[in-house]
Amino acid sequence: MIKHIDLIFATGNQNKLLEINKIIPNNVKIISLKDLKFSDDIPENENTIEGNAIYKAKYIYNKFNTNVFSDDTGLEVEALNGEPGVYSARYAGEACDSNDNINKLLKKLNKKKNRNARFKTIIALIIKNKIHTFEGIINGEILKNPIGENGFGYDSIFRPAGYSKSFAELSINEKNIISHRSLAIKKLINFIS
């Protein structure tokens, strides 16, 4: 096990920060962009999830020259050929929020029998000037209507395979047992340990 390491988490998303802070071991100190008083929007213009994750990590690494990791996540729906995928954040348009994205997705899936979907996270880590990526995937299905108050983004319409509840009905700790993000971050922890 390594002694102690500081890692910037290159995200402005407080929900992602909450989830990851609950998994990370004590010897890893997460520095948030808020801690660094950095609130610029980091561009997400790449056309793959991996590309965006790497771009975000490099962007912050170039600014702060400190070990850093980023997370880029997409929801891939089978009947929509993997949409919204890399466009998950702005599926309904640049100025739209999660409710708009959910509504657009539910409309597009209306009358589709196949509601299989998966969340995919790529975490990009820059440590000792080298880039490493870690993937986490969870399969499940898209519900007909949003259910649950917890979580964020598409959580209320995603039911993980083998579960009777949506992600938004699970606590952070319950989501962390199985989620795409936790799978990817556990690989990162393993790598640096």
Torsion angle, alpha carbons of 143, 111, 94, 87, to 10: 70
Work out whether 73 is an interface residue with ligand IMP (CB under 6 A): yes
- Residue nearer to ligand IMP on the CB measure, 40 or 193: 40
Locate 192 and state its tokens: 């640096």
Among 153, 182, 183, 188, binds ligand IMP (CB under 6 A): 153
Where are any strands of DSSP class E within the chain? 5-9, 28-32, 68-77, 83-85, 116-127, 130-142, 158-160
Work out whether 23 is an interface residue with ligand IMP (CB under 6 A): no
Q: Which stretch binds ligand IMP (CB under 6 A): 30-38, 67-75, 110-118, 134-142?
A: 67-75
Work out whether 152 is an interface residue with ligand IMP (CB under 6 A): yes
Tokens 């999660």 sit at which residue?
98
- Please, which residues have CB within 8 angstroms of residue 111's CB and are 6 or more apart in sequence? none
- Please, which residues have CB within 8 angstroms of residue 31's CB and are 6 or more apart in sequence? 6, 7, 8, 9, 66
Q: Considering only residues 85-114, where is the footprint of ligand IMP by CB under 6 A?
A: 88-89, 98, 101
Q: Considering only residues 34-53, where is the footprint of ligand IMP by CB under 6 A?
A: 44
Q: Residue type at 157?
A: I
- Residue nearer to ligand IMP on the CB measure, 155 or 169: 155
Q: Which stretch binds ligand IMP (CB under 6 A): 26-34, 60-68, 128-136, 152-160?
A: 152-160
Q: Is there a catalytic annotation at residue 71?
A: no
Binding residues for ligand IMP, rule: CB under 6 A, are 13, 44, 71-73, 88-89, 98, 101, 151-155, 167, 181
